[in-house]
């Protein structure tokens, strides 16, 4: 699976759209999804042919920053090129999630414009993220806000993975009545000749470096200290249904229960199983999940599977997706009919 991100802002450090995109990218990459980002302000010389990059995408994210009004000139140019040159049949199977961050009034209108444009192109639109940011530091350091962004990224993954149905829109009818333009294939030399503008590479590289440093700073703030070991209520179910996967298999699962604000740690090392309430540093767990005790009870009593809870949205998860799927092999609870 591949998801392309098209960022239509100016790449300024104070643009919180970049923070949102970094959060989304981290979640998608942990789900083993190939993510490629196109900063339109860096692509001024070939925005016209960027529509060709849609060919191999299963989903896209259109991201803009509303500084004073509308979605901005770069995104307008990109959508224009999609209308003129993109393969409309291919667009018909691509899901789009809009991301709109506003510093002034107008985030709803900007989101509606992105959705309408994409649906008129024949594409499929998913629920997006729109937010007004008054205080950048407060927004980007908020754990609850980050959790909302991460959940939306997971939801976007699910709708693509499950090929979710989208309710029909009148924009599709409008699209059918319009003349269909044929996609064009251009050589790199032809693409270069389409524009006289050249990006300021030195400025771009400096801004990218500053953004990466900020992302690392906020990532470090989310790390937690190790907790104290203690027994927990699900130990009996887990031990009775434990099926070792071989002497060399090792995995650490953490499951945070939001209703009691405790973290269940499950450590598997060959034929050894260790379970307790405690904490693990962010990088120490192969899979970090979040759910409620009620959902965990459904899993250990065979009313659903770990992966089934994830796919339904009852459980959110970050980490190694292959190890996530292995949970249902390690613990074979009898599924109730």
Q: What is the pLDDT of residues 39-56, one digit of tens each?
A: 999 988 888 889 999 999
Q: Which helix (H) or strand (E) holds 257?
A: strand 250-257
The token pair at 122 is 């024949």
Q: What is the pTM of this model?
A: 0.58
> What gap in Å lies between CA 238 and CA 218, rounded to an integer?
35
pLDDT mean over 244-255? 91
Measured between alpha carbons, how far is 147 from 153 in angstroms, rounded to an integer?
Answer: 10
What CA–CA distance (Å, rounded) separates 122 from 91? 6
Nearest to 95 by CA among 109, 66, 115, 77: 115
Rounded Cα–Cα distance for residues 279 and 229 (Å): 9
Q: How far apart are CA 164 and CA 155, in angstroms?
A: 11
**Residue 279 confidence (pLDDT):** 85
Distance between CA atoms of 322 and 30, rounded to whole angstroms?
Answer: 10
pLDDT in tens, 316-337: 988 888 888 899 999 988 765 4
Confidence class of residue 193 from pLDDT cuts 50, 70 and 90? Answer: low
- The span from the CA of 27 to the CA of 154, in Å, is 7
Q: What is the β-pairing status of strands 124-125 and 272-277?
A: unpaired
Rounded CA gap, 51 and 83, in Å? 9
| Structural contact between residues 278 and 266, judged by C-beta atoms closer than 8 angstroms | no
Q: Phi and psi dihedrals of 43, rounded to 5?
A: -110, 25
Q: Tell the burial category of 162 from Cβ atoms under 10 Å away from its Cβ (0-12, 13-18, 19+).
A: exposed
Higher pLDDT, 178 or 198: 178
Question: What's the distance, CA 256 to chain centroid?
Answer: 20
- Domains with residue ranges and CATH for the chain: 2-220 (3.40.50.360), 235-330 (3.30.1050.10)
Residues 261-294: pLDDT tens digits? 889 999 999 999 998 888 887 778 999 999 999 9
Q: Residue 224: which pLDDT band, with cuts at 50, 70 and 90?
A: very low
């Amino acid at each position: 699976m591949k998801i392309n991100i098209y960022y239509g802002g100016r790449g300024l450090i104070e643009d919180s759209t970049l923070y949102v995109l970094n959060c989304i990218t981290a979640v998608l990459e942990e789900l083993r999804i190939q993510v490629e980002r196109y900063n339109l302000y860096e692509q001024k010389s070939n925005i016209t042919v960027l529509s060709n990059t849609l060919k191999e995408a299963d989903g896209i994210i259109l991201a803009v920053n509303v500084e004073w009004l509308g979605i901005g000139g770069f995104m307008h140019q990109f959508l224009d090129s999609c209308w003129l040159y993109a393969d409309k049949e291919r667009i018909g199977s691509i899901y789009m999630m809009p991301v709109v961050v506003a510093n002034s009034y107008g985030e709803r209108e900007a989101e509606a414009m992105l959705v309408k444009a994409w649906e008129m192109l024949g594409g499929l639109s998913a629920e997006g993220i729109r937010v007004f940011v008054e205080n950048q530091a407060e927004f980007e350091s908020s754990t609850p806000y980050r959790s909302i962004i991460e959940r939306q990224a997971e939801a976007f993954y699910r709708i693509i993975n499950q090929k979710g149905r989208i309710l029909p829109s009148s924009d599709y009818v409008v699209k059918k009545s319009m003349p269909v333009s044929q996609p064009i294939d251009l050589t790199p030399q032809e693409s270069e000749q389409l524009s006289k503008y050249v990006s300021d590479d030195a400025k771009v590289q400096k801004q990218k470096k500053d953004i990466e440093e900020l992302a690392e700073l906020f990532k470090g703030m989310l790390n937690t200290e190790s907790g104290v070991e203690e027994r927990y209520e699900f130990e009996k179910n887990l031990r009775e249904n434990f099926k070792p996967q071989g002497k060399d298999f090792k995995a650490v699962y953490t499951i945070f229960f939001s209703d009691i604000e405790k973290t269940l740690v499950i450590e598997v090392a060959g034929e050894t199983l260790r379970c307790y309430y405690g904490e693990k540093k962010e990088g120490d767990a192969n899979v970090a999940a979040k759910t409620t005790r009620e959902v965990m009870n459904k899993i250990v009593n065979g009313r659903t599977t770990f992966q089934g809870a994830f796919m339904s949205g009852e459980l959110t998860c970050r980490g190694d997706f292959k190890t996530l799927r292995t949970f249902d092999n390690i613990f074979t609870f009898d599924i109730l009919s």
